[in-house]
Amino acid sequence: MIKLGLLVQSQNNSLGIGKVTEISDTNANVEYFCSIGQRLQKTLPLSSLSEVRLEPQARCYIKYQTQDKWIVGRVFIWDEDTEMYQIDLPDKKTAIATEEDIYVRCNLPNTDPIETLAMKGHETPYFHDKRLAFVKSLIKQRAVSRGMTGLISANINLYPHQVEVVRRVLEDPIQRYLLADEVGLGKTIEAGAILRQFLLDEPKKGAVVLVPQYLLKQWRTELENKFYISHFGKRVAVLAVEDIHKINLKARIGCLILDEAHHIAAMATSKDATVRQRFQTCKELAHKSDRLLLLSATPVLNHEQDFLAMLHLLDPATYKIGDLAGFRAKVESRQEIGRLLLSFKEGAEPVDLKSNLQQLRNLLAEDEYFLKLADDLENCLQTNSPEQDQIVQAIRTHVSDIYRLHRRMLRNRRAAVEDVIFDRNFTPKEEYDLDERSPDIHELLNQWRSVAPAEQPYQRIFLLLFLAAGTWLGILEQVITARLTGKPHAKLIQEFKEDDLRLLTTTPKFSGEEEILQSFLKIIRQPQEDGGRTENLKTVLLNQLGTYFKIPANVRKNQKEFITRIQQRIKRPITGDILPKFIVFTSFAQSCGEIVRYLSDTFGAETIAKHQFGESPDKVEEGLNKFRNNPNCFILVCDRSGEEGLNLQFADWLIHFDLPWSPNQLEQRLGRLDRIGSKIGVQSCVLIGPYLEDSPHNAWYQVLKDGFGIFQQSIASLQFYVDDKLAELETALFQSSAAGLLEMISPIQQQIEAEIAKISEQNALDEIDANDEIATEYFQDLDNYDACHLEMKRAIEGWICEALGFRGLNNPDSSEMRRYQPSTRTLVPINELKNRFADSYLDQFGTYNRRVANQNPGIKLFRVGEGFVEALWNYINWDDRGEAFAMWRTDSSWDAKEGKEWFGFQCNYVVEANLRIAKQVLLDNKLDSSQFKNLQRRVDALFPPIIETIYVDGRNEPIRVVEDKALLSILQRPYKDKNNNQGRDYNLAKERLGIIDDFVDPSKWQNFCYEVRNTSAELLSNRPDFIDLCQSCSKVAEKKLANRVEQLRLRLNQQSWDNALAEELKIETALNAAILQGIRQPQIRLDSVGFIVVSGRSLVQFE
């Protein structure tokens, strides 16, 4: 029975839990609690209401009527006997409350985290840090994808031409397009991504896909494996065109896709009445559908009739199906422009550009925008300006957009296609030296280091010895000889810098050094039957070839017979033999030569090519061509001269003969294979030196692998950080050898994570807004982002697993495929799990790695737009866990005296364009609400959403921004609840809540919090760099939006009056002004907030 004060929910709405405040005979007044200051009243039939029992962990608000006081807590348990709730409070106390005293927030999103802090209902900073990382990750995904979540969450390779097609369609308010890519370029993928976005944008609308019968199974498989179509229930019907009669013509179709549309168009002129009727049905569906995609690779020339029928499906007002003569005239009139554009390209000869430009002037004499570009180009041609190609490209783009056969026809040619760049996975297999001299050399290195004076010149000399000992030992012999004689070997000059060789030869020898150096030479010159490191390399190659050729194990045991069998197979391959391509990198030119000499003796000179310092460009190119094109040449040996500029993505193996001291140099080396078009599963190994626990060479490899993570992710953007770090690493190597290097791994990992975050924040806007009309720009953004899938995983799992307590379960076949399920420690109430995660397919595995998803059809890709991630995002926007915190931060650099504590606030704002006025324009013009999603995507490209954090000083009036760098570095540290070198952090909640009162009068706390919120937003909006950001974005946006309006105006002038186009131009003009205002004065929304005390004392001392 429904009574006053009960918590209920109604089947008539989706507002969630409310409280009954009045009851009549048949109705009840239900109050929905949004926040303490905001309630929503609804009158609902009693028959629609049902009582709700709150689950453990449910966030609740308790009103003590006698004290006129609110407190916040979480449900611990419902006591059936007393019919009371036991509530856990933030101060570690417990409250017993009746249902009448308890309020629960309804399903509307939480809008103001400051309320939680003002009520001191905050929780641990641990939750805040995890939540903020999650929010940042998803906001970044939205910014990078420009709101195209259907694209980024699809299980597809990202190709630039497909991404550009999807972008153009999804940013257009009128999504009626002919996708006309040449055969084999993936029109199905483009259509699937657009369809997925429609399904995400319009959860109550359905779609129909009509395809030829023979493609039906392929389409259904593609849509399921790549776009998870089954996740959308029965909202998509994939039918053969022959079964079109099964469609209810009265049904509202939100999106219609017609594959092989030229075949459907040909039905219009069929002699078979049944076939003609089929076309009429298609036409009726096409004209009434909100969105329409026609897929056809058929060129217009010589197919005018079918093409006209397709365009009539797309745009019946402009393209009358009976006006074939007029259409042919239109096609012919555009041919001349098309011919001119064929040779009007970047890099063309100036005389050809001038000639074509003049002809285009004659043809486009009314096009003011083009004439302005033409004037700019003529000036460039006269001055030989480097901007020439850029203007040529702008003219081509403009003319193509304005004068194409239909402005919503998108065609890509094969010549324009670029392949995708795969995630880096170059962690090498470790191969240790078997050279009997290696342990002795290692001991002498350590002896030299231990005895040498602790001075910079000797530190640098030790680095030279270290590097020379990690390659072909002929280099080490030359270094030692140069040290002994004071004269460098002639060939050594090409291996090391001049300054290093001067230090090597002129720095005085310390006492006992000469004896150590002579011992070095004695060991190096010992005769070796196994050939040292080059023999080790040969063994690696033989073993891999033996595996490839499937040489029996008994043959491999006999070294001589094994080599003979390999040699025979190379010279006389059997059917199907394709030798894998091995690339061997060394940092030294002489090592390169020695490797080539040594391997040639075994495999033959014809099997080996080299890229060696000092060789002529022609000789180098000859070797590269030999390696690339000659199937019998399967080894390429490169010294450092081959570490830049080469495209070696076709290789199968990468072998590091030695490792350079510069990680940036290694990044260049890896970049030769880590490129667009690289093979999946490139294998790698590194020759790492002797197998010794304290080997500095092994330690350096560990620093590169685990510290810099260079074999798993590019560090190209970190080159300045890396260069600065080298001096510290050099010191660690000299002072503590392997142990010193290994101690650097953890700090480097942390510093790189912070460095990447800063770089991303600084560069993301420039990278996204540089030129959003160019497909490669957008592709590069997506591609770079996808390469950071491990960071994505850390951010998302940090929230869902470490904070919320979901359990991650690995797929038995791969640890990179996971699914998440609630456990007994999951901090999400059961009813919220049922309500908010019902459609997230928790039982299905997913991955963060796009490549893994591509290799496993049907595996979910964890991105914005994917069901589970979307459910988490919606939940985080409703739940207040992690939105507010308070902490005491101890820092050893801070004054420990009483009263010297600093206190203030951290405010994290989501900043995005304010679309309130733009939305009103849509409403005023009676446009569908779905248009707002398209508008949002366009604006995200012009002003990508970002997270801005501002710290304010709460000690004095007026409240001021923290600008002191030392203090900022303290405030920006992640939360650490355990002691570290700088101090530790304490959560000011539960029994420590009272500490806040020592800094802010409890009677003023709430007002102070609200003042901080208002003032911090104002301070952020007045910050010079923030103002510059808004102004620079608005300038770029103004230019792009003006170009869009001008193109519409030109199209309108190109044809007889078109009411629809005129209306589009009017709306676009109004939207432009609204968008620009929304960029100049963006929306600044507080996402999370925290109160921070900084002290030189620990909290224990304070208490």
Confidence check: pLDDT of 152 > 90:
yes
Q: How confident is the prediction for the chain on average, in pLDDT?
A: 87
pTM of the model: 0.65
Q: What is the DSSP letter of 705?
A: I
Which of 55-59, 580-584, 640-644, 1097-1101 ranks highest by mean pLDDT? 580-584
Determine the straight-line distance between the first and last CA of the chain, rounded to whole angstroms.
51
Lowest-confidence pick of 11-25, 762-776, 881-895: 762-776
In the prediction, which pLDDT does 417 show? 58
Sign of dihedral through CA atoms 1086, 113, 785, 863? Answer: negative
Which of 279-283, 313-317, 388-392, 1045-1049 ranks highest by mean pLDDT? 279-283
If you average pLDDT over residues 595-618, what whole number do you get? Answer: 91
Question: Around Cβ 929, how many Cβ atoms within 10 Å?
Answer: 11
Look at strands 291-295 and 255-258 and give their pairing.
Answer: parallel
Confidence check: pLDDT of 641 > 90:
no
Closest alpha carbon to 643 in 722, 708, 585, 684 = 585
In the prediction, which pLDDT does 9 show? 94
Confidence check: pLDDT of 76 > 60:
yes
Q: CA 817 to CA 490: how far, in whole Å?
A: 55
Confidence check: pLDDT of 331 > 80:
no
Structure tokens given for 959 = 């409240």
If you average pLDDT over residues 314-340, what whole number do you get? Answer: 79
CB 319 within 8 A of CB 326: no
Structure tokens given for 637 = 């040996």
CB 728 within 8 A of CB 472: no
If you average pLDDT over residues 482-495, what whole number do you get? Answer: 91
If you average pLDDT over residues 531-550, what whole number do you get? Answer: 89
If you average pLDDT over residues 389-408, what whole number do you get? Answer: 77
Q: Within 344-455, where are the H helices?
A: 350-363, 368-383, 388-403, 438-451
In the prediction, which pLDDT does 646 show? 66
Confidence check: pLDDT of 433 > 50:
yes
Closest alpha carbon to 643 in 628, 658, 622, 632 = 658
Confidence check: pLDDT of 776 > 60:
yes
Confidence check: pLDDT of 775 > 70:
no
Confidence check: pLDDT of 915 > 50:
yes
Which of 16-25, 492-501, 546-555, 905-914 ranks highest by mean pLDDT? 905-914
DSSP 996-1034: HHTTS-TTTHHHHHHHHHHHHHHHHHT-HHHHHHHHHHH
In the prediction, which pLDDT does 68 show? 60
Q: CA 168 to CA 27: how far, in whole Å?
A: 50
In the prediction, which pLDDT does 1053 show? 73
Q: Within 953-1004, where are the H helices?
A: 965-971, 994-997
| pLDDT tens string 1040-1071 | 888 888 878 877 776 666 788 888 889 999 99
Q: CA 727 to CA 1078: how far, in whole Å?
A: 47
If you average pLDDT over residues 457-461, what whole number do you get? Answer: 96
In the prediction, which pLDDT does 502 show? 94
Task: Name the pLDDT band for 770 (thresholds 50, 70, 90).
Answer: very low
Phi, psi of 392 (to 5 degrees): -60, -45
If you average pLDDT over residues 582-599, what whole number do you get? Answer: 96
Confidence check: pLDDT of 64 > 50:
yes
If you average pLDDT over residues 729-733, what whole number do you get? Answer: 96
For 621-630, which contacts have Cβ atoms below 8 Å and span 24 or more sequence positions? 627/581, 630/606
In the prediction, which pLDDT does 765 show? 24
% of the chain exceeding 90 in pLDDT? 53
> Domains in the chain, please, with CATH?
7-108 (2.30.30.140), 335-404 (no CATH), 438-524 (no CATH), 528-766 (3.40.50.300), 767-876 (no CATH), 884-1102 (no CATH)
CA 1030-1033-1037 angle, 5° bins:
130
Structure tokens given for 944 = 């990508």
Task: Name the pLDDT band for 299 (thresholds 50, 70, 90).
Answer: low
Confidence check: pLDDT of 652 > 60:
yes
Sign of dihedral through CA atoms 1078, 1079, 1084, 1087? Answer: positive
| pLDDT tens string 839-881 | 778 889 999 999 999 889 889 999 999 999 999 999 998 888 8
